[in-house]
Structure 1
Amino acid sequence: MPSLALTQRSATELKRINQAFYDALWSGARLVDPSRFNTWPMVRELAMALPRRLEIAPGLRPRLPLDGTYFVDISLAALHELRSHGASAARASIGALPCADESFDLVCALDILEHVADDDKALRELSRVAAPDARMLLSVPLHESAWTAFDEFVGHYRRYEPGQILRKLESHGWSIEQSAIYGMQPTSKTVLGLGQWYLTHQRERALWWYNRVIMPLGLRLQKPLKWQRGMPACEGVDELLLLCRRA
């Protein structure tokens, strides 16, 4: 679970840590087209059916189509690259979206909630900008017992227990329609420790390897995702992709 030092960080400090990490990551990266991710078969029909779309903090790994989607991110490097590819993008955070009430039919926030201190505020904003019959795509890391120093290093504030994220979504008026087992954090503490050391002491070199070698290889090795109704059995699952609907 999060360390005491992490839980005592202010929301401002947490935002600064996240922005510094991801600005460095995206400054040396190229935008990856959404169709190259294993999420694409799952979101393609949704995107075609729901033309008013918002994706929050995609960095240079957007999952929704660039054409017709409105993107929000805090990284200037990411915003510059998104706009250079013709996307509409604004600088803002999930806690203060520059969008009108009920203005989107599909809202996407992958790997975001765990990065903010006040996830209820974030969910209130997502709910505010979502239309009455909107869909929401979320992904969250699971199990406090799986917390590592790497979570802290990349700016995570928490991991969720399956029942916890279910109840939290329900309290904000969302129900889980479908879910998929998503993402896989290396279980080797040695690998995680080595990655953290290089990112701390040789960040430029580590990010070059990540963006030019590890990321392209990871795209080739992606496994197909499969929707199932409701929540799956989550023992040993590192991360969930959730498709939610306004209750």
Structure 2
Amino acid sequence: MLPWRFKNFISENFPLLYHKISNIGVKVNTAAYWDEIYDKEWDSPKRIWPTKNKLIESETRPTDAILDIACGTGSILRHLKKKGYQNLYGTEISPLCKRRLTELGITAFESHLPKIDYQDDSFDVVIASQILEHIIKRDRFLDEIKRVARPDATCFLFVPDDCLGPIDEPSHVIKFTRKKLTQLLSKHFTDFSVTSIKDENFPMPILYAHIRIPQD
């Protein structure tokens, strides 16, 4: 058995390698994997982000077409639905989530990231909450966000802030710092800010990127 310090070194410096080695024989990021998790955690407090909900609500309008990518249990969309938002969409790899959100009146569709299976220029608001750290082809994913966002759209992106690498969360393939996230976003967007916040439900810090898509 490898010493923890050695495993932590690999996780910190070669996170994708650690992710692949630690998940040999384990199917993560599959429909069945997430169906099982979301079925257990559908109404769990660990899936509810009050601070994010308030932030997104304060920066959007009930008439906006809003897409939450890899929306999980749909806690953000369900919050907005209760606040009178009607034009809500969610993508998920999990058929269970798609079915339950559809029953709640939220348009949900399956999408296997990094591809987003939706038309160009469709949404006023795009949310990617705690998902970028799961994606290997991050450049393609960010290009997909730009593609489905309308001109003058707003995007909200959240990732753990210098915590929860693959040694902590086996489905994670990278651990973001503010510098790493800024460098990545700079390749795709010109108008954005990155700040560190905390959600009232969680002790861990979160990087929050507020991205503005330019008008044509």
1:137-176 → structure 2 map (5 Å cutoff): 137-143=156-162, 147=165, 149-152=167-170, 155-176=171-192
Equivalent residue number for residue 240 of structure 1: 207
Equivalent residue number for residue 98 of structure 1: 117
1:30 Cα deviation from its structure 2 partner: 3.3
1:74 Cα deviation from its structure 2 partner: 0.4
Once superposed, what is the RMSD of the aligned Cα atoms?
3.2
Residues 109 and 36 of structure 1: CA distance in aligned 2, closer, same or farther (over 3 Å): closer
Unaligned runs of 5+ in 1: 184-220, 224-236
How many residue pairs end up in the alignment? 192
SS in 1 for 2:51: coil
SS in 2 for 1:28: helix
Cα contact 1:94–1:125 (8 A) shared by 2: no
Residues 31 and 161 of structure 1: CA distance in aligned 2, closer, same or farther (over 3 Å): same
Which structure's residues are more often helix, by fraction?
1
Equivalent residue number for residue 75 of structure 2: 62
Query: Structure 1 runs of 4+ off > 3 angstroms?
Result: 7-10, 29-36, 177-180
Q: TM-score, normalised by structure 1?
A: 0.66
Bigger mean CA offset, 47-56 vs 79-88: 47-56
Equivalent residue number for residue 28 of structure 2: 17
State percent identity of aligned pairs.
23
Residues 35 and 112 of structure 1: CA distance in aligned 2, closer, same or farther (over 3 Å): closer
Equivalent residue number for residue 182 of structure 1: 198
Bigger mean CA offset, 49-58 vs 30-39: 30-39
Residues 109 and 174 of structure 1: CA distance in aligned 2, closer, same or farther (over 3 Å): farther
Cα contact 2:49–2:201 (8 A) shared by 1: no
1:53 Cα deviation from its structure 2 partner: 1.2
1:161 Cα deviation from its structure 2 partner: 2.2
Residues 181 and 110 of structure 1: CA distance in aligned 2, closer, same or farther (over 3 Å): same
1:18 Cα deviation from its structure 2 partner: 2.0
1:4 Cα deviation from its structure 2 partner: 2.7
Equivalent residue number for residue 124 of structure 1: 143
Encode CA deviations 1:48-97: one digit per residue, 9 max, x unaligned: 16612111111114314243111110011111111111111101133221
Unaligned runs of 5+ in 2: 1-11
Q: TM-score, normalised by structure 2?
A: 0.75
Equivalent residue number for residue 186 of structure 1: none
Cα contact 1:71–1:88 (8 A) shared by 2: yes
Q: Is it true that 1:83 corresponds to 2:102 in the alignment?
A: yes
Encode CA deviations 1:15-52: one digit per residue, 9 max, x unaligned: x4023442111123435799972222211133316612
Cα contact 1:181–1:241 (8 A) shared by 2: yes
